[in-house]
Structure 1
């Protein structure tokens, strides 16, 4: 008997097993419906059986935008065999509130490295320990003490923009192509990376000085390499956002996908990113061991406020540095780019917020010779804050619905009992486009966040998530946004290449923004004393 004839039965048996496991078994599970999820409408006819439709949707780069449209009709949608997406704003408290019994789901487990960091740790007691260790570092009093680091990076951004200034744009004049000479998106990201590296590690990355983001990474064997930071960071997140949805199979899918060039390139960049926090932490550790007592986030990781060692494992320290460099730079860069874009697109709003900033600065008191405006001068400006919040609402930097898992004994969401072990989530983009709370939700209307009406919207504002797992770095983000945006608007005017130009966005977990080329020129302004 030939080898081919011998192997045929095994091939048939293998094919039958694959068919039974991947086709028949999911269908049986779907109809058994032990969790009672068939009562909810499917995102796709196959969503109750397979994660494939959601993975295909992820490849579109418009996952949350698509869900937002569906949620205009359905308050709850089944997005996968064991997952529900919510669009009713009342579900925020049930899923993310301080007293919710829900925990972070399996996505954070399979996406974690050797050690959990504050953003992906699942166990509530471990999270409380981490939060206690890090809360002093992120306290508002510390942040204002670190304002000089933000001011230094703002000055360097202004210095670059000064060198790119062109002649003022006259009324009715068309923007000349050669005057559109600054990719604002790129330089906003250089700003946030330089700022968080200084705040967190007293590290001078120098991206704003050099105009590029080449850094050193460190391999596990101690050797080093050079790479560009932003592509490594963003393609790591992109690959994960495309493939992670089937948690059971993700480790296998992640590895096997590298055989396909499209994913393989992202996989290589992911490995490059892994070594960057290791090298940054290594360099800072050398300074710590040399006796340097520096006022930064790393110091808070190593010691408590009384100088007692925290005795964290090295892997945990690296993990915290990794999420700090990631979340501490990417989301704020997206926010700063978005707010400048929205203000250019809405000149009446731009005029109003610029007048508020000018009035607050009062004849250059509160802005030094470099043009940097002090945080104390602008942190309580109501219209500036309303503009920041409205931009964060319209395009939240993290639109992805942060997944939570219901407790073993189940819980009630929107008054319905959801069994244990079910993934539930609400996208910030979905929440922010609900007309019930945000009329004309697709429009940029900062006035909605003013006064008591604005305060009433805060429970539905998910740009920094909500509850005990809300973003610990929100104060840093607001400080950076307020200082840099106020300083930019006080000093410059901006224009896009044409009035109908649109900023491109690709959704991963955050947005990956396309280039934002702008024309920039110095403002002509009158001082208050001369008016």
Structure 2
């Protein structure tokens, strides 16, 4: 190879990097198409002048030199020229988002973030163009109007054909969709849902009575409780039957697989941008097949039933717009995952903590009995009068939040100041919920399970740092329904049963099996539910 043949692809690789790096999110498909087209033209030109083996070898050599140059220039820029170069963090994270995918596959992302913040402070670099900010002052960015855009993590929402409320990156679209969703979780709607929540809570008690005194992996009963409520309130199935063993529980495992695939792929922006062209993973296919079955069954009922779906198939009162079928399908995906996983993991961890913290369980039982006695039927409204119950629930969501690594957001074209530190324009950032809510500046004794902090003076120094349901425009729309379920299920179970650790429960196995796949995934939690005398 002569010198021009070597220098041309090397210089082209360097030029490509400096041409593309000012673009905040380079569109993958046009770039990929341009490269393929160039290679085709280059190969045809060589075939006209060279023998076939020589022409092919020339193409391979050109591409090898080009990509070596491009990757080395990109690496140099990310490490030494990028606006985030001064922020501490893993060098590998500064080079590639594959590091985040690796951590997500391991389920350890939130623990790595917590460790890095403990070493380096409030600002750490976790991607070529992303920061993790463990500072309550960053929450103000989520309150700006128009509110902060979602980061590129949420491009994964387009992979299925349409995005939904939690992943759309369009402010205008989110405002319209949020108005539709808000009606489904307004005061009047929640009052209509209450009797059904109470019916499912009684079913949970009956399920635990069947296995009273024996060892049980509590994940199963509480997942059945949460899923059956979701299927009832969203898809018009009064008794899906997972709690009593008559329903098909496979959709829950399919949903878990779906979340893990999303956690692995979503950090890779380039893959997300072309995901619609790639084969759909088997786990996603199984989940969506079950999802479509539930949607079709619910659509056949129209608006004859008052539930969440009845609102979703309605129109936005201001614009008159409705969800398209693809958008409705995508938003139904949100209902299934968010309506089941988060409630189930919070309840599972709560029952485990009560089995370990016997004094906390005793105080909670005494409050329930003092307020309602042993015989008065508990309902959604009367359990709201119990401050220690709410303190226990708040504390489990603070210490073991269902969304531990937080949500990804993005600064605008002017950047932003956070506690005296400038975050450059168009920078993705996340506020790690677990690290923030264990921070001693905001929660003294932050690593302890201490429900009294919510009642006693000085237990919470900064209430704004309590963000288990996120913050601002993207605050969880189903928060009140989730709290209703958590309060009623917890009070009903604690009044009826003494919760104890199972004989085979192992704390080390639990700690090793606790995973952060964007949402929390739990290992076996073997407990005993012994009827109270």
With the length of structure 1 as denominator, give the TM-score of the two structures: 0.84
Work out which of the residue numbers 477, 481, 485 in structure 2 matches 1:476: 481
Q: Does 1:338 align with 2:372?
A: no
Aligned mates of 1:124, 1:452 — CA distance in 2: 40
> Distance in 1 between the 2:175 and 2:389 partners?
33
- Contact 2:315/2:322 (<8 A) preserved: no
Query: Equivalent residue of 2:446, what SS?
Result: coil
Tell me if the contact between 1:353 and 1:383 (Cα under 8 Å) persists in the aligned partners.
yes
Bigger drift between 20-29 and 382-391 goes to: 20-29
User: CA offsets per residue over residues 115-173 of structure 1, 9 Å max, x none?
Assistant: 2211112222211111112212101332132111111211222222111113xxxxxxx
Mean Cα deviation higher: 506-515 or 456-465: 456-465
List aligned pairs for 1:450-489, cutoff 5 A.
450=455, 453=458, 457-489=462-494
Report the Cα distance in structure 2 between the residues aligned to 1:439 and 1:97, rounded to whole angstroms.
26
Tell me how far 1:407 sits from its aligned partner: 0.9
Q: Which consecutive unaligned segments of at least 5 residues does structure 1 have?
A: 167-178, 215-227, 259-263, 368-372, 525-531
In structure 1, the partner of 2:255 is: 233
| Aligned match of 1:246 | 268
Measured in 2, the distance between the counterparts of 1:254 and 1:125 equals 24
Question: Paired residues, what number?
Answer: 476
Question: Which is higher, the Rg of structure 1 or of structure 2?
Answer: 2
Residue of 104, 110, 130 corresponding to 1:83: 130
Distance 2:143 2:502 in 1: 43
Give the deviation of 1:520 after TM superposition.
2.0
Pair 1:517 & 2:523 matched: no
Structure 2: gaps spanning 5 or more residues = 1-49
The 3 A distance-change label for structure 1 pair 32 and 457 is: closer
Q: Which piece of structure 1 moves more, 345-354 or 157-166? A: 157-166
Distance (whole Å) between structure 2 residues aligned to residue 284 and residue 497 of structure 1: 40
SS in 2 for 1:511: strand
- Listed as ranges, the matches of 1:13-412 within 5 Å are 13-33=62-82, 36-42=83-89, 44-73=90-119, 74-94=121-141, 96-97=142-143, 99=145, 101-112=147-158, 113-166=160-213, 179-180=214-215, 182-203=216-237, 204-210=239-245, 213-214=248-249, 228-251=250-273, 267-288=281-302, 293-303=304-314, 311-365=322-376, 367=377, 373-412=378-417
Change beyond 3 A, Cα 1:254–1:432 = farther
Q: Secondary structure at the match of 2:402?
A: coil
Deviations 1:367-421 (A, max 9, x none): 1xxxxx2122211311000000100011101112211111122222223332321
Cα 1:433/1:455, change in 2 over 3 Å? closer
- Alignment CA distance shift 1:128-1:515 (3 Å): same
Show CA shifts across 1:337-363 (max 9, x none).
111111111000000011101111124
Q: Residues of 1 paired with 2:77 and 2:495: CA distance?
A: 63
Task: Give the superposition deviation at 1:312.
Answer: 2.6
When the two chains are superposed, the root-mean-square deviation of aligned CA atoms in Å is 2.5
Larger deviation, residues 382-391 vs 230-239 = 230-239
Q: How far does residue 2 in structure 1 lie from its aligned partner after superposition?
A: 8.4
Change (3 A) 1:304 1:14: closer
Distance across 2 between alignment mates of 1:238 and 1:253: 16
Question: What SS is found at the alignment partner of 2:521?
Answer: strand
SS in 2 for 1:312: coil
| Cα displacement string for residues 50-103 of structure 1 (whole angstroms, at most 9, x for unaligned residues) | 223333222331111111121123210011110011112222223x23557521
* Structure holding more helix per residue: 2
Q: SS in structure 2 opposite 1:195?
A: helix
